[in-house]
Amino acid sequence: MTSNEELERQYTPSLFSKRFESREELLNYFLNFSNSKSQENRLKYDCHLNISYGPTQREKLDIYGDNLPPDSPLFIFIHGGYWQELDKDYSSFFVEPFIKNSIRVIVVEYELCPKVTVEDIVDQIQSCFKWISSYVHRKNVKRVSIAGHSVGAHLLAFALSREFMDEMKTVSIDAYFISGVYCLKELRNLNAANDGNILTITDENWHKLSPLYKDFSYLKNNQVDVYIYAGTDESDKFKEQSRMFSESSIKEFVKKLQFLDVDHFNIIENLASEDYEITRSIIDNLKK
């Protein structure tokens, strides 16, 4: 196997799970689980769907637990999918344990490549969090947790912009980076993530689009704790991405770097269980 073939393999997360005999079985399970549980939760819980935060078709979010007291703690989720797959309709599978603990949930959607570029998506996420900051203050919310999975973790790094954090100085924030991608240098030339440069990552912009090199020093002005998770059944490259990010300029705000006994998919599927470590951490922090 050539070095490039191995790199392609390393950035194909579905190849490293031990739960199924083939990656097709794994992906089918993940999509069926995500879709069915999300549909069930939309029917089961009070929700306000398809709220626009921007002008395009996918710049929308869903709010679950809309009937909770206005100042209830808030959990926000940003989905993954290599900036080109999935949406919020597949990404509300986890809301039950949060609603049961009187925590409101926002699930964020964004436009996908190749309709837009990764740079465009970053801009959309920052617009979304401008909307969220206004919502938080309007509702007088005092505690917020935000999680991003896979490239959702990449987008979370940009959601925590200086502008957003300036607006959130009176709010306690916990940020959960789950199995994320924080350096885009290797991804830009890989078919696994960027076939035909669908993401429009170039020699000129990959560094700017990599949270690994972002200056997070301004977070010192906020009440913010950072949690970084990845799975033991993930590729060495994905684990390395989390380790490197934990040692970046965000280091002084990191409360935990942990590798759980899961793969790239059930690390987030398990959020639907209240006794799962990440779920428990989010709920406990929000209920302080």
For residues 210 and 26, what is the distance between their CA atoms, to the nearest angstrom?
A: 28
| CB atoms closer than 10 angstroms to residue 127 | 15
Which value, in Å, is the radius of gyration of the alpha carbons in the chain? 18
First-to-final CA distance of the chain: 51
Burial 230-249 (b: 16+ CB within 10 A, else e): bbebbbebbeebbeebbebb
* Domains in the chain: boundaries: 3-286
Half-sphere CA count of 284, side-chain side, radius 13 A: 8
pLDDT string in tens for the chain (288-residue length): 558 899 999 999 999 999 999 999 999 999 999 999 999 999 999 999 999 999 999 999 999 999 999 999 999 999 999 999 999 999 999 999 999 999 999 999 999 999 999 999 999 999 999 999 999 999 999 999 999 999 999 999 999 999 999 999 999 999 999 999 999 999 988 998 899 999 999 999 999 999 999 999 999 999 999 999 999 999 999 999 999 999 999 999 999 999 999 999 999 999 999 999 999 999 999 999
CA 63 to chain centre: 16
Pairing of strands 143-149, 104-108: unpaired
| CB atoms closer than 10 angstroms to residue 196 | 7
Half-sphere CA count of 42, side-chain side, radius 13 A: 16
pTM (global) more than 0.75: yes
CATH number of 3-286: 3.40.50.1820
For residues 25 and 9, what is the distance between their CA atoms, to the nearest angstrom?
A: 17
The confidence score (pLDDT) of residue 4 equals 86
For residues 126 and 107, what is the distance between their CA atoms, to the nearest angstrom?
A: 15
User: Does residue 226 contact residue 233 with C-beta atoms inside 8 Å?
Assistant: no
The confidence score (pLDDT) of residue 2 equals 57
Hey, what are 251's tokens? 């280091």
For residues 74 and 76, what is the distance between their CA atoms, to the nearest angstrom?
A: 7
Hey, what are 125's tokens? 């996420």
